[in-house]
Amino acid sequence: MFAIVCVSENWGIGKDGNLLFHIKDDLRRFRELTLDKSVLMGRKTLESLPGGKGLPRRHNVVLTSNRDFTAENVEVTHFPVEAVFAAGEDGAIIGGGQIYDMFLPLCDRVYVTKVFASPEADTFFPNLDEDPHWQVECESEIFEEDGLRWQYVDYVPHEEEEDEEIAALLNSRPSEETMEFYPMPDLGNFSSFHGF
């Protein structure tokens, strides 16, 4: 999964249920990166979209605890795990604050639009620059539109950390229980050849 977000200088993302910025080029990029994919969002973010409807040409998955909630062009889910399965491994996490916090650990990439401004905010994204799990993979030049300056920055998990996780996995010995479920294959002559 990946996340896509537009943040202010102090990682603010919203105020009073609305976005902080409306940058045409950013919205175009958001559309490009999410078109024909699943997008996973919280009920509050859905209600901030035009008409409170799912985004066109996307499979919209919405998480809410309200059993009676319905909306146009939306698959409603009530549990995080249900939402993740509905969105699939290529799905995009598109906000807001609660949803980013919950699903960020499942993401292998975060597309951040960093705006060089600090309007007041009441909802925030975790500061990836202060999180050792994340590293910048690439950053764009700085753009400007209607007096606002911004930059696109892609974050990915730290390579070393990933390598360590893979090494730990490869070095881990299967438990007795796992061996019962996944017994060693019959290696026949091959095993005696290797002196097993």
Ligand X SMILES: NC(=O)c1ccc[n+]([C@@H]2O[C@H](COP(=O)([O-])OP(=O)(O)OC[C@H]3O[C@@H](n4cnc5c(N)ncnc54)[C@H](OP(=O)(O)O)[C@@H]3O)[C@@H](O)[C@H]2O)c1
Amino acid at position 27, single letter? L
The residue among 49 and 158 lying less far from ligand X, judged by its C-beta, is 49
Minimum distance from residue 94 beta carbon to ligand X (Å): 6
Minimum distance from residue 150 beta carbon to ligand X (Å): 12
The residue among 19 and 156 lying less far from ligand X, judged by its C-beta, is 19
Sheet holding 123-124, edge to edge: 18-19, 12-15, 123-124
Q: Bridge-partner residues for 12, per DSSP?
A: 124
Minimum distance from residue 107 beta carbon to ligand X (Å): 14
The residue among 48 and 158 lying less far from ligand X, judged by its C-beta, is 48
The residue among 19 and 33 lying less far from ligand X, judged by its C-beta, is 19
The residue among 33 and 156 lying less far from ligand X, judged by its C-beta, is 33
Minimum distance from residue 131 beta carbon to ligand X (Å): 18
- Cβ atoms within 10 Å of 20's Cβ, excluding its own: 18
Minimum distance from residue 49 beta carbon to ligand X (Å): 9
Q: How far is CA 30 from CA 152, 180, 181, in A?
A: 11, 47, 44
Give backbone dihedrals phi and psi of 25, rounded to 5 degrees, phi first. Answer: -65, -35
Q: Site residues (CB under 6 A) for ligand X?
A: 5-6, 13-14, 17-19, 41-45, 48, 63-66, 78, 80, 94-99, 123
Secondary structure (3-state) at 33: helix
Read off the DSSP letter of residue 55. Answer: P
